[in-house]
Amino acid sequence: MKKAILFWIMFFAFSLALLAQEAKIDQPAPDFKLEDINGMDVLLSDYSGKIVVLEWINFDCPYVRKHYQSGNIPKMQDKYTKQGVIWMAICSSAPGKEGNLPTGEIKKRIKQYNGKMTFYLIDSDGKVGKMYGAKTTPHFFIINKEGKLVYSGAVDDKPSTDIEDIKTARNYVTEVLDSLLAGKNPPVKVTKPYGCSVKYK
Amino acid sequence: MKKFVLITYIFSFVLFSSAYAVEKYRDKQISIEIVPATKAIEKGKENLFAVKVKLTKGWHIYWQNPGDAGEPTILEISTNIPNQQKIIPQYPVPTYKNTSGIVTLEYRDVVYFPFYLWIPQDFDKKELEIQLKAKWLVCKHICIPGKAIITKKFQISNGNLKFLQNNEILNSLKFIPKDTILGEIKLSSNSALLKFPLNFEDRLHKVFFYPITEGVFDLELEPKFSTNGNELSMRLPFVRYIWGDTSNIEGVVEFTFDNGKKKYFVTKFVK
């Protein structure tokens, strides 16, 4: 009897632990470890005390290309990493699917677009993407210095592939980062992510 | 030299005009045109037309709520009928697709978006001109955005034309939600309880809800429904990151009966 009770206690504890692994707004951002394109293991919790941007990426998606070819996202990466923000671009495209590129090709594209992300991480089994609920590329998540997830959504409010739209768009990511850097609460918490679907396996 | 300039000018004009006034849009993934349901376009009556979209095998476009990814297909009709407001064609019920946890509401193969046009008896033009502004995202393993302006002219019937019907358009009307049901909504922390009146003779087998309101419901989880007399209750779980307006829920409800028949209704909920 005691064994059965112990089993159920352990079962519920395990279930709760699994549920806790799901990212939610205003809750501690779940930790993860992923390898970057230089073969280095990157652990989110190593950057506690820092503002962290998670950007879901797929260089072959036209919505991602809009923001890279225009220089919009690379400029944001440059501006905010210089202010101590850790910028993690994460690719959850499964092997054989759109956006799952060889390391050499990824490095070539980053150089071509003048990308300034801190890390480009590979999540080809999609576990981190699903833990955070990443649906599109791009899809942004922002973690504050206290380690809480404070933003999920789009880069801006113009869901198009037209580079011209960037000029008149409201950029949510810069608004959230500027307010966090100024020690204020972000003006938005959740917006509609737009783009291609994440190409999970 | 003058001749050359003139020929170049005429050639450019013709080329530009034809590129602008497209009667039918076509590329490798998609073709779009305006088609009438009947050959005779008549004054003093409601004429049925449709935007016909044909997709190359494997490619798809999206419903007005695309789901977790993709972009809605936007269609807008205008005409040369005086005082005619812009018309949004009706969207047939989409196909539900779950790809590794990402749910999309799609159209594949051939899809008709019907719309009705009332031509007044005193309409003094010989031709009815319909213009369609279309914007879409067509996807397979990659996604390609597109837009087009399609203009087509139709001869107004003088009564000599036979009343030929386009059965494909008429059949497509089966997938258009007709009436609107008004219901109640109660919100809890992680789901919404939708209630609305029910009045069917056939026994209900299954209920499915396609939310038109985006960013509120988790499309991956099937709604749980129960009936109590003439009332149907449906519990829908919220999506993890809600960005939509929970105070104004609209959607299409699909009823499947034990005999296999299906019915679609637009549903609107107020708190």
Domains of chain A: 22-197 (3.40.30.10)
Question: Tokens 């919404």 label which residue?
Answer: B192
Amino acid (one-letter) located at B93: V
Q: Which of B131, B87, B136 is nearest to B107 (CA)?
A: B136
**Two structure tokens written together for B271:** 């708190």
**Domain at B179-270: CATH architecture:** Sandwich (2.60)
- Measured in angstroms, the CA of B209 and the nearest CA of chain A are apart by 20
Smallest Cβ distance to B71: which of A23, A133, A159? Answer: A159
DSSP label of A40: -
Task: Read off the pLDDT of residues A138-165 as tens digits, 9 standing for 90 and up.
Answer: 999 999 999 999 999 999 999 988 999 9
Task: Please give the Cα distance from A126 to B95 (Å, whole number).
Answer: 25
Rounded to two decimals, what is the model's pTM? 0.85
**Strand runs labelled E in chain A:** 33-36, 41-43, 52-56, 86-91, 119-122, 136-137, 139-143, 149-153, 196-197
For the domain spanning B13-175, the CATH number is 2.60.40.10
Is B99–A130 a contact, with Cβ atoms under 8 angstroms apart? Answer: no
Which residues are A190's β-sheet partners?
A152
Touching check for B74 and chain A: CB below 8 Å? no
To 10 degrees, the CA torsion angle through B235, B239, B242, B246? -20
Amino acid (one-letter) located at B111: V
Q: Are B138 and B59 in contact (CB under 8 A)?
A: yes
**Two structure tokens written together for A28:** 């501690």
- Measured in angstroms, the CA of B186 and the nearest CA of chain A are apart by 22
Task: Please give the Cα distance from A200 to B206 (Å, whole number).
Answer: 30
Give the orientation angle of helix A72-81 with respect to helix A62-69, to 10 degrees: 60
Is A133–B241 a contact, with Cβ atoms under 8 angstroms apart? Answer: yes
Alpha helix (H) residue ranges in chain B: 2-20, 167-172
Distance between start and end Cα atoms, chain B = 74
Domain ranges of chain B: 13-175, 179-270
Rg (CA), chain B: 22
Touching check for B69 and chain A: CB below 8 Å? yes
Q: Which of B115, B91, B93 is nearest to B262 (CA)?
A: B93
Provide the residue-wise pLDDT of chain B in tens; the chain has 271 residues.
Answer: 455 444 444 444 343 333 355 899 999 999 999 999 987 888 988 999 999 999 999 999 999 999 999 999 999 999 999 988 899 999 999 999 999 999 999 999 999 999 999 999 999 998 999 999 999 999 998 889 999 999 999 998 866 555 557 788 888 899 999 888 898 888 998 899 988 888 887 888 889 999 999 999 999 888 888 888 888 899 999 999 999 988 889 999 999 999 999 999 998 887 6
**Strand runs labelled E in B44-190:** 45-55, 60-67, 74-79, 95-99, 102-108, 110-119, 127-139, 143-155, 180-187
- Measured in angstroms, the CA of B101 and the nearest CA of chain A are apart by 8
- Measured in angstroms, the CA of B224 and the nearest CA of chain A are apart by 22
Give the pLDDT confidence score for residue B204 in this predicted structure.
86
Smallest Cβ distance to B242: which of A22, A190, A198? Answer: A190
Neighbouring C-beta atoms of residue B57, cutoff 10 Å: 7
Omega of the bond leading into A138 within 30 degrees of 0 (cis):
yes
Alpha helix (H) residue ranges in B62-115: none
**Two structure tokens written together for B106:** 């799609």
Residue B108, C-beta contacts closer than 8 angstroms, at least 6 positions apart: B55, B59, B60, B95
Is B215–A192 a contact, with Cβ atoms under 8 angstroms apart? Answer: yes
Report the Cα B37 to chain-centroid distance in Å: 16
Task: Please give the Cα distance from B259 to B254 (Å, whole number).
Answer: 14
